[in-house]
Structure 1
Amino acid sequence: MELNAFVDAIKEYAQSVGFVPEKNGIWRKDINRPSNEFENVAYCGFIREGQEPSGPYSDFSLCFMPEKTNDDTNSISACAIVLVVGTQQFMYDGAIAQSPFTRRRFLRLNSNSRVYYKSDFSNITDRLPELTTKLKEEHPRIRQFDERFGPLVVAFEVVDIKNDFTVEDIPYEFKKWICAYAEFRGWPTNDTQRKEVVDVLDKLESINSKKSLTEDEIYKILLRDKYIILQGAPGTGKTYTALNIAEKFKNVKFTQFHAETSYSDFVYGIKPDTASNTLIYKDNPGVLYEAIKEANTGKDVLLIIDEINRANLSNVLGPVFYLFEKNTGNNRKYKIKIGDLEIDKLPETLYVIGTMNTADKSLAVVDFALRRRFTWITLRPQVIDHKDFRKEEFLEFENMFMRHATDEELNLQPGQSYFIAADDEAMKQRLKYELMPLIKEYINEGFLPSAKDEFVNYFYNKIGELMYE
């Protein structure tokens, strides 16, 4: 593609989504360079408004670094798209750079191609290792900008240019970056511009709405790994999924842990015989013992442990913890006694699914030793195909979490089951009696502090109720 045609298409498309030169941003280009200088400095792109048309600048910019086909032509074969901070570093964007939402805006660009990005957009001292290696190995003709600006680059993608294009048929890889930057800078001012940005970015997956594994995929993992944990926020379908998978087994045992669950309850113990006239004790086989006993007959047995982190797992599992080990073969030297059983490993036909609510911060922390023994599968909030699913309300909640939640707080986002309602009135009831108390509890616990006012206004506008009187 001819270089000037490429530059014109980039600028014209940006104008179609609200960019106004010298008003809401500055357009810069420096492409008319001798061949021996081109790869060092040639670029075009957009910088924050209020800056000079040339020379050093500050804050985030979106730059396009073209790669010429060879030294004797004005054709380009690739382009590095770079979100980079100016050499004067941060003047106005410092606080924005520290916000997780800023990173998430551009992280979602990774859903349909390979975008490299920093985990911290305020870090302008370290280089992205992929920046150096990818450019050196695959695009040596545009590697020089890494040497000059490497630490200031927070995200980038290299796009091969195989065909000519105009603003009318500009490739999606360029559209998504320009629209993400337009949204970030607030360029769109009319419905046409906003619609274009929304249409382009809607093709990307939200960071927190990446598709969870299907039940069939989870079932296959269970058969392979034997012990799995389904973890996720309230309403993401952990228990629902476990029970659906249980339908594939003829022999299923279910238990739910709580703060008072003990080894005697779950594994094996003794208890008073209330039918006797004298104080005597009798054996009390727990659900794990019963599952092992049944699996020892050669039957496939599924044990579901709901809310597994509600109990003190060290006390509940005791020495049985030793048995939850994958791929042990016949190398075990010690046996564990459980009632009348002495075993050194769990039966090959015993499968275990545990569920864990990641939003309940008052529960026991699961230690690394247990994590090693189970396969951990995260169920995420996601749009579902259900006739009563309220997509609008779900996305409103998701967007508020995207704007305000830390990475850890994303685990609190209510799942899709909260947004299943037969009609508007039913949804209002769910907002009033389920979602508003849940969000209020989060905020009272110190989570999502910056989202408080937005949630207060949201609930008032939706149901006419104040979250705080």
Structure 2
Amino acid sequence: MYANYEDIQETFDDFVNKVGGESRNIKKYVRRNYVKDNSGFPREGAYFGLIKEGEEPSGGYHDLSLVVFLSNEQEDKDDRCMVALVFGSLGYRDDYDIAALPGTKRLFMNLGLNDIFIKNDFTDIQSRDGFKDFCEAKDNLYPADDGAERIPETLRNAFKKYENVIMVASLFSPHNEDETKKKLGKFIAAYANMRSWPSNKEQRKVVNELIHNSKNDEIDEEREIEKLRQLVEVRKYVVLQGAPGTGKTRMAKKITEGKKVFFTQFHAETTYSDFIYGIRPIVSKEKQNQQDHLEYEEVKGVFVRSIIEAKKAQDNAKELNKSPDEVYLIIDEINRANLSNVLGPIFYLFEPTMHESEVTIEVCPRLSLSKLPDNLRVIATMNTADKSLGGIDFALRRRFAWYTMVPHSIKADAGYEFCEEAFIDMEDIFYKYASDEELNLMPGQAYYIIADNSVELEERLRYEVMPLIKEYLAEGFLIRARDSFISYFKKWIKEEMYK
């Protein structure tokens, strides 16, 4: 194989040129080679790659580089190459901020490759445990019965001095042309994106096509609805969680179309009496002396009413010898209330696999249950951006299935427009700067669905999105993205965030 390594280099260089690695005959990188033409494979192993513009052509170097490590096995089937993002031997000089950005890791996570190692912390240059596990993993790409090692000796010799500083890596067979082009193309496109190489529309198009970044793919709503219907059918109790504008309540209503539905929205003052059962005082006049008379009446909450309806459906179905109709309870903003106080002892009944037991819970007078009706389904929604609200304890989390709804591009309904460019610009800021937790704060696609005129988009951004972003910044979220947000609103509404 080693005698033909030029073919891999030619493919590599072709991709580098297509994604903007050179502009006006000026290279935006320094090329490094440790290969010896006509001299045999180096005992230490061969590799080639790119280091940052301004570094020396030999010796130690700084920052992040893109490297292809080569192998030289006696039989072609045993050859493996590795393409990797590698930390320079002289440490970080200009790339520390890039390495520390969550978006840099996400860039490689979104390459759509199954057999890939991605270090959890790109600023960690000490540990190699994760990379060691990757090298020793069961090989799904190259079945063991072909007699090949996952990491052949000649390849291991090439990268063994760099195991601590390999940030991202993936294997490919150099004799599989399609696989070679796929792996090299994706890594080079990601590196070009990280380095901001593309300088024209065509280069950006090539980068996007090579990365095939799934975060911007439209989600098939009908398929998602069906997926959630199946989840609700099996698990019975489901929470739809996500950032504002991701369509949680809308999705809950879509799932339950044509069904018997009870709806409630929790808030900070919601009580057990509101949701389940309570006693309410009423004042009436006595007929004879017309004096005020205090009486009490029982009030069945939405939860009790949904249980009664579900049991009624069961009884009717039993008489007709058929399956009972399902009854749905939608609880909007479930984490706005103090759930321990609201649920009380019925908390025990939220168990999707519960069978009849000896434990009976008195839900209210004349209604005691050892399990909830099998045909009762509960769908709750939770806004992950509302950090001022109470959390959900682990015991309740175990009883519900959790489905995260993420912001995504959509096809708007007739008469409406989805402002995709403005949405993607906002999405790019969050993917670059947001931590995993902060990613849950991204404004959803609903903010970018407007009637067919640009004025409405400007109003949405000015009076809804910008105040939300300013609140995030005031709470200490996404601080590093502050300048990017300022530039975003200058571009889209020509207004300063701070005056």
Native 8 Å contact 1:208 1:410 kept in 2: no
For residues 353-372 of structure 1, what are the structure 2 equivalents within 5 Å?
Answer: 353-372=379-398
Are residues 1:460 and 2:460 paired?
no
**What is the CA deviation profile of residues 226-281 of structure 1, one whole-angstrom value per residue up to 9, with x for unaligned ones?**
000000011100000001111142x2100000010000000111111244642222
For residues 21-170 of structure 1, what are the structure 2 equivalents within 5 Å?
Answer: 23-32=27-36, 37=42, 40-68=44-72, 70-71=73-74, 77-109=79-111, 111-127=112-128, 128=130, 129-134=132-137, 138-141=150-153, 142-145=155-158, 147-164=160-177
Structure 1 residue 300: Cα displacement? 1.7
Looking at structure 2, the residues matched to 208 and 265 of structure 1 have their Cα atoms a distance apart, in angstroms, of 42
Native 8 Å contact 1:306 1:356 kept in 2: yes
Partner SS, residue 137 of structure 2: helix
For residues 251-290 of structure 1, what are the structure 2 equivalents within 5 Å?
Answer: 251-275=260-284, 277-290=292-305
Structure 2, gaps ≥5 residues long? 140-148, 286-291, 315-324
The answer to which of 231-240 and 119-128 deviates more is: 119-128
Looking at structure 1, the residues matched to 15 and 373 of structure 2 have their Cα atoms a distance apart, in angstroms, of 63
Are residues 1:308 and 2:337 paired?
no
TM-score of the two chains, using structure 1 as the length reference: 0.90
Counterpart of 2:455 (choices 425, 435, 441) is 425
Q: Structure 1 residues 198 and 112 mapped into 2: Cα distance closer, same or farther (>3 Å)?
A: same
Looking at structure 1, the residues matched to 138 and 360 of structure 2 have their Cα atoms a distance apart, in angstroms, of 54
- Residue aligning to 2:420: 391
**What is the CA deviation profile of residues 409-460 of structure 1, one whole-angstrom value per residue up to 9, with x for unaligned ones?**
1111111111111221221121122212221222222222222233223223
Looking at structure 2, the residues matched to 289 and 194 of structure 1 have their Cα atoms a distance apart, in angstroms, of 57
Are residues 1:377 and 2:407 paired?
no
Q: Structure 1 residues 372 and 164 mapped into 2: Cα distance closer, same or farther (>3 Å)?
A: closer
Counterpart of 1:346 (choices 356, 372, 376) is 372
Counterpart of 1:445 (choices 475, 478, 484) is 475
Partner SS, residue 56 of structure 1: coil
Structure 1 residue 124: Cα displacement? 1.8
Looking at structure 2, the residues matched to 295 and 423 of structure 1 have their Cα atoms a distance apart, in angstroms, of 46
The answer to which of 14-23 and 303-312 deviates more is: 14-23
Looking at structure 2, the residues matched to 191 and 271 of structure 1 have their Cα atoms a distance apart, in angstroms, of 67
Native 8 Å contact 1:17 1:196 kept in 2: yes
Max Rg structure: 2
Q: Structure 1 residues 340 and 79 mapped into 2: Cα distance closer, same or farther (>3 Å)?
A: same
The answer to which of 222-231 and 52-61 deviates more is: 52-61
Native 8 Å contact 2:417 2:449 kept in 1: yes
- Residue aligning to 2:8: 6
Are residues 1:238 and 2:248 paired?
yes
Partner SS, residue 54 of structure 1: coil
Native 8 Å contact 2:232 2:377 kept in 1: yes
Letter in 2 for 1:446: G
Native 8 Å contact 2:330 2:380 kept in 1: yes
Letter in 2 for 1:8: E
Looking at structure 2, the residues matched to 71 and 53 of structure 1 have their Cα atoms a distance apart, in angstroms, of 31
Q: Structure 1 residues 274 and 35 mapped into 2: Cα distance closer, same or farther (>3 Å)?
A: farther
Are residues 1:183 and 2:193 paired?
yes
Structure 1 residue 348: Cα displacement? 0.8
**What is the CA deviation profile of residues 128-155 of structure 1, one whole-angstrom value per residue up to 9, with x for unaligned ones?**
2432213885233423455422221111
Partner SS, residue 353 of structure 1: strand
Q: Structure 1 residues 424 and 311 mapped into 2: Cα distance closer, same or farther (>3 Å)?
A: same
Looking at structure 2, the residues matched to 229 and 135 of structure 1 have their Cα atoms a distance apart, in angstroms, of 35
Partner SS, residue 280 of structure 1: strand
Partner SS, residue 341 of structure 2: helix
Partner SS, residue 66 of structure 2: strand
Looking at structure 2, the residues matched to 453 and 56 of structure 1 have their Cα atoms a distance apart, in angstroms, of 34
Looking at structure 2, the residues matched to 92 and 466 of structure 1 have their Cα atoms a distance apart, in angstroms, of 30
Structure 1 residue 338: Cα displacement? 2.4
Structure 1 residue 164: Cα displacement? 4.7
Instruction: Calculate the aligned-residue CA RMSD, in Å.
Output: 2.7
Native 8 Å contact 1:303 1:352 kept in 2: yes
Letter in 1 for 2:275: F
**What is the CA deviation profile of residues 385-414 of structure 1, one whole-angstrom value per residue up to 9, with x for unaligned ones?**
125111111101111212222221111111
For residues 394-405 of structure 1, what are the structure 2 equivalents within 5 Å?
Answer: 394-405=423-434
Q: Structure 1 residues 252 and 398 mapped into 2: Cα distance closer, same or farther (>3 Å)?
A: same
Structure 1 residue 89: Cα displacement? 2.9
- Residue aligning to 1:197: 207
Looking at structure 1, the residues matched to 105 and 341 of structure 2 have their Cα atoms a distance apart, in angstroms, of 41
**What is the CA deviation profile of residues 301-344 of structure 1, one whole-angstrom value per residue up to 9, with x for unaligned ones?**
10000000010111101111111112122345343442221112
Native 8 Å contact 1:210 1:380 kept in 2: no
Partner SS, residue 376 of structure 1: strand
Partner SS, residue 335 of structure 2: helix
Partner SS, residue 238 of structure 2: strand
Structure 1, gaps ≥5 residues long? none
Native 8 Å contact 1:116 1:130 kept in 2: no
Structure 1 residue 200: Cα displacement? 2.7
- Residue aligning to 1:18: 20
Q: Structure 1 residues 211 and 63 mapped into 2: Cα distance closer, same or farther (>3 Å)?
A: farther
Percent identity between matched residues is: 40
Native 8 Å contact 1:232 1:238 kept in 2: yes
Structure 1 residue 211: Cα displacement? 7.4
Q: Structure 1 residues 163 and 36 mapped into 2: Cα distance closer, same or farther (>3 Å)?
A: closer
Give aligned pairs, total.
Answer: 460
Partner SS, residue 410 of structure 1: helix
Q: Structure 1 residues 80 and 269 mapped into 2: Cα distance closer, same or farther (>3 Å)?
A: same
Letter in 2 for 1:130: D
